[in-house]
Copies of this chain bind each other. A is one copy, B any other.
């Protein structure tokens, strides 16, 4: 089997870890920040050195392409380069660097291929500087309106539009990815969870993105003085919230074991140690690959008692996302090539969102996961050993070359 160069892969990870380095092992590389622009410059320099042509579209998405034979559709691989504040050296950037390493292997080994091969960098995936996340893949696939996105402001008042103009990477709309001229899209990403490590698998063969619902519950009670209000007069909204959370756990735990649900945010008001809380809100995030299980979750939410501990209980849906299924033929190629490389693997669904999920609506798409040590992500200790990074690049390389044999997916 063909493989990439492990030392060169390691050098890529190490070099790109310097752009926005925090000094504590991680990076802060917010979208279109000086650190992110430095990373882009290095990416473009390396692509041009490999003889690739580099274009950027009106959202500053970068496309670096090795030409193929004739006018065939392009095989596209990549991810994003921006990070959250005090993020790690793997989320996003590893998908770019493994794609670049696969392309570099194809170029330097002069591996024959029919289709153009494009390494893509999506702008502002994290949404950490400019809300929302997956902004630019969202714009070109019609999920967001570009004019709204240009007005999105960072914490210092700079709009995305202003940052785009100043970046030097704003290209034209006509240079956006041409969906009709795309053979397929591959995104490698770190798992951002503990499953691959716990199951001792090298590679996650991603079948899709789980559907999710996100609700906010509100408990309304009565604010009274902690020292003067006998227990039987109280309407304690925090006690009610605890009971609703416990109720949800009890009910949701009866559903399919692959369901994940999280009460991650709780806001208590007035939140003073000497006052009984009168307004407590918490969120419930629930995800599963099977829409029927999500329907069961919604049923449980609808059946939550409307009164708990003498407090009213209400809820509202904040947002939801349908299950995204990746291209079955491409998923099978990833699995075959991973097996052929001798890497242990498992099929799985992605919990988090990725640019690939938006692209999946318009071009044949799939993803490859590599393990996250201890499941950590979006933090400075986020880590994937170089061996696993290299294995991921090898899966991309061999999958791309196999895809190149096909005319369409």
Show the binding face of A for B, using Cβ within 8 Å: 191-195, 198, 210, 212, 214, 223-231, 233, 236, 238-239, 241-243, 245-246, 249, 253, 257-268, 271-277, 282-283, 285, 287, 318, 350-352, 375-379
* Contact across chains for A285 and B226 when beta carbons are under 8 A apart: yes
B residues near A351, Cβ cutoff 8 Å = 225-229
Task: Determine the distance from Cα of A233 to Cα of B260 in the docked complex, in whole angstroms.
Answer: 11
Among residues of B, the one whose C-beta sits closest to the C-beta of A224 is B375
Task: Determine the distance from Cα of A249 to Cα of B225 in the docked complex, in whole angstroms.
Answer: 18
B residues near A243, Cβ cutoff 8 Å = 246
* Contact across chains for B262 and A274 when beta carbons are under 8 A apart: yes
Q: A263-B277, A265-B273 are in contact. List 10 more A-B contacts (CB 8 A).
A: A192-B225, A195-B228, A210-B227, A231-B257, A231-B260, A236-B262, A243-B246, A264-B271, A264-B277, A273-B285
Copies of this chain, tallied across the complex: 2
B residues near A283, Cβ cutoff 8 Å = 273
* Contact across chains for A265 and B260 when beta carbons are under 8 A apart: no
B residues near A212, Cβ cutoff 8 Å = 227
Given A227-B287, A264-B226: A245 and B249 interface contact (C-beta under 8 Å): no
Partner of A242, one of B226, B245, B276, B376: B245
* Contact across chains for A260 and B227 when beta carbons are under 8 A apart: yes
Taking the closest CB of chain B, its distance from the CB of A208, in whole angstroms, is 13
* Contact across chains for B350 and A227 when beta carbons are under 8 A apart: yes
6 nearest CB pairs, A to B: A227-B351, A193-B228, A226-B262, A273-B283, A242-B242, A228-B351
Partner of A229, one of B229, B231, B260: B260
Task: Determine the distance from Cα of A406 to Cα of B378 in the docked complex, in whole angstroms.
Answer: 73
